[in-house]
Structure 1
Amino acid sequence: MSWPLIGVTAALIGGGVVLQIWSSGSARGGRQHALQLPSVLLYSLAGALFLFSAFPDSFSEGRALGFGLGGAAGFAAFFMVASFAWLSRTQSRDRLAAELKAAVQENSRLRRQLTATATPTQAAVPLTRTTRYEFSLPGDRRHHLGMITGNLANVLGTDVWVNPENTRMEMSRVTEHTISATIRYHGGRRDAAGHMVHDTIALELAELMKGQAQVAAGQVLVTGAGELAESHQVRRIVHVAAVEGEPASGFRQVMDLGRCVRNILTEVERLNTGGEELRSVVLPLLGTGDGNSDLSRTAEALAEAVVGYFRAHPDSAVRTVCLLAYTDVQATVCRAALDMHLDSGQPGRSG
């Protein structure tokens, strides 16, 4: 058997394997069995080519579609006819798979609708356990979208923390119950009694703001992590202008949350290009504290923006973005938002 024929045979088998793996993907649900047919045909052609090239004196004979066939053609025809017969029996399986896929999608839609319209009967309960969930994006094993539950102060090993800040970039007082206050306190240097003796992150942010009263909605500024680098393995804090304030009226969430997310990830990517290795980001529900915003809409907008960024930047060095869910209600809306963009057949990671 000549080397060119061996190469053609290997190519046919390799093509069949690739097609079989592709057709087995969950995205092809409802057509998986039917899409196996091209693989079977490639295997049969490869087998016929190999047998009748390695053993030229061999002989096979058969009939297909009223025609008599012999030699390699007869051998291949036998497999093709058998394949079509097999295909006719797969239609019911594909129909059931399609119905199951449609039912799963409808269930997810109804769950999202229920989450969006339900009125909580009791106050949100803070989650005491910090758990991380990460899921591969459909068709993209490189990037993950996920959720981290619990208090940000208990999150370890995430490279970038996002701080939802106001357009004046004025951090909250350390006694306030906000993400900004948590980052400010834990990032500052403290004495043995726990009192802050150096306001590390707030001072660096103020230095970046020197000469300007405020920034545009959605703009980001990056500082170091202060003491969080050692205590929580955080490398960078990305401050994003996620709320706007008015005198005597409080704060409101900015209109374009997608712009906030794109600016955050673009800045992290710029730092990676500069030599840093920032692979993971924890993203709070921007502007849902004093921002008086809708939790479900916010979670959906953030998840959609993250997925859109990864789709537009398939080579992004950022591997994982996790939404932060501090309460049980936030965890519910975050999971509903993830379900909108995640394939249930994709494996996830948790810890």
Structure 2
Amino acid sequence: MSPLQLAITAILTVAGISLQIWSSAPSRVERQYALQLPSVLLYSLAAALFLFSIFPDSLTEGRALGFGLSGAAGFAAFFMLISFTWLAKTRRRDELTARLKKAQRENAALRRRLAGERPLGEGPSPLAQSTRYDVPLRGSRRHRIGVITGNLANVLGVDVWVNPENTRMEMSRIDEPTVSAVIRYHGGRRDNAGHMVDDAIAKELTERMDGRRHVTAGQVLVTESGELLESHQVRKIVHVAAVEGEPGSGYRQVMDLARCARNILAEVDRLAEVGEPLRSVVVPLLGTGGGNSDLQRTVDTLLAATVSYFEAHPTSRIRVVYLLAYTDVQEAICRTALDACSELSTGA
């Protein structure tokens, strides 16, 4: 083997090793499998040059694209053919790796937003602007799931508002910072000074209780929307028993949130089937207002229950279900959950 051949072999080998190390860097994780091909080609050329320099009388023959190949060219062509065959199978791996890296970046950004970037002692910030984001259910042109941000009082044009109520169906006082209070106040008739003169929704809810002191967790009752029909284009209020009270301990989230979500959607569909034009629903993050709940688990449960309902009822008349994100933290969790949901067509 001549010094020139030995030097070329060494250069090809070192180049292959260097390229393999370079392609293994974290910044190229989405293309690592594909970038292995040039390394393999360099290794094969180095091996062919080495073997046929030492054993010049050896013979390797084959045909490719109608041409006959022999000797070192045939050996190199064989390795190239194997390499391209292997490369064709790596695209899916690179795509999955890229999606995994994207999810990891999103999770890291969410953790920073929830913990690292917020001054110590500062809580979640309410969102002043009402914005909407929704994505279609994969394989369905009919159903979408999304998130609406901000105060429910600023949401216009959604047919059904969901009221997370306690198992006694007792609405909050109008000056309390709850969804129930927002619905009660804006749904009631008020005088010119803004004072309520007709507590319409709370009175109708009491009538729907029909003398009962409480309902089971997850049960829903429907009332008219009162003044919200004119001011916010809301057609119905669905009250769901999403929290349970305990003397001395306040309210806590009910155990089966998925049942709450299924009952809400089933009742809206029932009303739609008898002629009510109900196509959109906004669902607050049930039972999270008092802080005695797992926000991430709540979002995941409500999202999964909604997806499962649409999959089980492909002819549902409901077109879109929104989760209500009142704070920046709630929005971040909802958006991340939607983008990570494999059943939704997020374009990832």
Q: TM-score, normalized by length of structure 1?
A: 0.70
- CA–CA separation in structure 1 for the residues paired with 2:280 and 2:179: 18
- CA–CA separation in structure 1 for the residues paired with 2:311 and 2:85: 34
- 1:210 deviation in Å? 2.4
- CA–CA separation in structure 1 for the residues paired with 2:347 and 2:102: 19
Contact 2:150 2:326 in 1 (8 A): yes
- CA–CA separation in structure 1 for the residues paired with 2:257 and 2:344: 26
- CA–CA separation in structure 1 for the residues paired with 2:272 and 2:220: 16
- CA–CA separation in structure 2 for the residues paired with 1:318 and 1:286: 20
Deviations 1:104-150 (A, max 9, x none): 14532563477479546331111111101110111222100100011
Contact 1:162 1:238 in 2 (8 A): yes
Give the 3 Å change call, closer, same or farther, for CA 114–255 of structure 1 in structure 2: farther
Q: Helix, strand or coil for the counterpart of 2:135?
A: strand
Aligned position for 2:142: 142
Q: Which runs of 5+ in 2 are unaligned?
A: 1-82
- CA–CA separation in structure 2 for the residues paired with 1:127 and 1:278: 27
Q: Helix, strand or coil for the counterpart of 1:134?
A: strand
Give the 3 Å change call, closer, same or farther, for CA 90–225 of structure 1 in structure 2: farther
Aligned position for 1:203: 203
Contact 1:152 1:182 in 2 (8 A): yes
Aligned position for 2:60: none
- 1:190 deviation in Å? 0.4
What amino acid maps onto 1:99 in structure 2? D
Alignment of 1:212-291 (within 5 A): 212-290=212-290
- CA–CA separation in structure 1 for the residues paired with 2:241 and 2:233: 24
Contact 2:167 2:217 in 1 (8 A): yes
- 1:261 deviation in Å? 0.2
Contact 2:307 2:343 in 1 (8 A): no
Q: Helix, strand or coil for the counterpart of 1:204?
A: helix
- CA–CA separation in structure 1 for the residues paired with 2:182 and 2:85: 57
- 1:336 deviation in Å? 1.8
Aligned position for 2:294: 294
- CA–CA separation in structure 2 for the residues paired with 1:344 and 1:310: 11
Contact 1:253 1:291 in 2 (8 A): no
- CA–CA separation in structure 2 for the residues paired with 1:237 and 1:272: 14
What amino acid maps onto 2:256 in structure 1? D
Contact 1:307 1:341 in 2 (8 A): no
Give the 3 Å change call, closer, same or farther, for CA 137–91 of structure 1 in structure 2: farther
- CA–CA separation in structure 2 for the residues paired with 1:295 and 1:280: 23
* Identity rate, percent: 59
Alignment of 1:163-202 (within 5 A): 163-202=163-202
Aligned position for 2:97: 102
Q: Helix, strand or coil for the counterpart of 2:142?
A: strand
- CA–CA separation in structure 2 for the residues paired with 1:138 and 1:105: 19
Deviations 1:230-283 (A, max 9, x none): 000000000000000011210000001000000000000100111111100001
The total of aligned residue pairs comes to: 261
- 1:92 deviation in Å? 4.3
What amino acid maps onto 2:274 in structure 1? G
Alignment of 1:14-93 (within 5 A): 92=87
Higher deviation after alignment, 290-299 or 167-176:
290-299
Give the 3 Å change call, closer, same or farther, for CA 347–111 of structure 1 in structure 2: closer
Aligned position for 1:156: 156
Contact 1:137 1:341 in 2 (8 A): no
- 1:103 deviation in Å? 2.1
- 1:89 deviation in Å? 7.5
What amino acid maps onto 2:267 in structure 1? E
- CA–CA separation in structure 1 for the residues paired with 2:131 and 2:85: 42
Give the 3 Å change call, closer, same or farther, for CA 113–302 of structure 1 in structure 2: farther
- 1:291 deviation in Å? 5.5
- CA–CA separation in structure 1 for the residues paired with 2:230 and 2:88: 55
Aligned position for 2:71: none
